[in-house]
Amino acid sequence: MSCPENFTGIITGASSGIGECFARELAKNNYNLLLIARREEKLEQLAMELEDLYDIATEVFPADLGKTEDINRVVEKIKNTESIYFLVNNAGFATRGSFVDVDSDKHKEMISVHITASTLITHAVLLSMLERKEGVIINVASISGLIKNRGSPNYASTKAYMIKFSEMLALEMKRTNIKVQALCPGYTHTEFHSVRDFEGFNKNAIPSFLWMKSEDVVSKSIRSLRKNKVIVVTGRKNKFFVWIVNSKIFGKLIVRIMFGKR
């Protein structure tokens, strides 16, 4: 996955977890980087580290993709960035509790981050990529977008959008060398469950064998690009889980066991 002609990779949610791992992987392969996230200090630390390790240029662009004005700033920045080859739409978050228990502003913010920002940023990037008819777009979704997941309907639905959006965009890009992927991880060791919305969440309640490292998720994503896979579910256990939940024979039983009767 070495970088052609020292092009640029753009990563949202780059300050930690899967986004940070993508940044490290792209830097290792000689991509210049545009790093986008809310936490400027963490972005600066990562950028300095990668510049010290690799012969690349990095730029930090702090933005909150839950805000329309920040999405617009990012889009304008992308339009003025040359030689974009790689995009990772990774920014995202989840909430706990039923739909009505979560504040409506949180739902609005989630739609903004997962759907509006990913769509508009992808549109801006494609303006550059289509000139060369080559590039890579990875939308970090979730297995939640592929299964019934009672308790987080907005999260599952926005991730399902990212998956379907990637599928349809891949069809449009079929006659180009622009690859589109919907990356669907399951439980992953990141800061995802360490935020205030997950206060009281017990990671130990989830069997250890279900968790994956961010590095392994990113490695699977990169390998799958060579096979032109659009929907990439990481890990055999996650693939089996998605299959059995969607199974006509076992699906209803599994959902009832996991989420109870209603």
Among residues 233, 226, 224, the alpha carbon closest in space to that of 186 is found at: 233
Instruction: Note whether 112 and 67 are within 8 A (CB).
Output: yes
Residue 155 annotated in active site: yes
Choosing from 31, 54, 85, 155, the catalytic residue is 155
State the Cα–Cα distance between residues 138 and 118, nearest whole angstrom.
10
Contact assessment for residue 61 and residue 36, using Cβ atoms and an 8 Å cutoff: yes
Alpha helices in the chain (DSSP H): 17-28, 40-53, 68-79, 104-111, 118-132, 153-172, 214-226, 236-245, 251-259
Give 146's contacts (C-beta < 8 A, 6+ positions apart): 160, 163, 184, 231, 233, 242, 246
Residues 6+ apart with CB under 8 A from 174: none
Please answer whether residues 162 and 139 qualify as being in contact, where contact means their C-beta atoms are separated by less than 8 angstroms: yes
Query: Known catalytic residues?
Result: 155
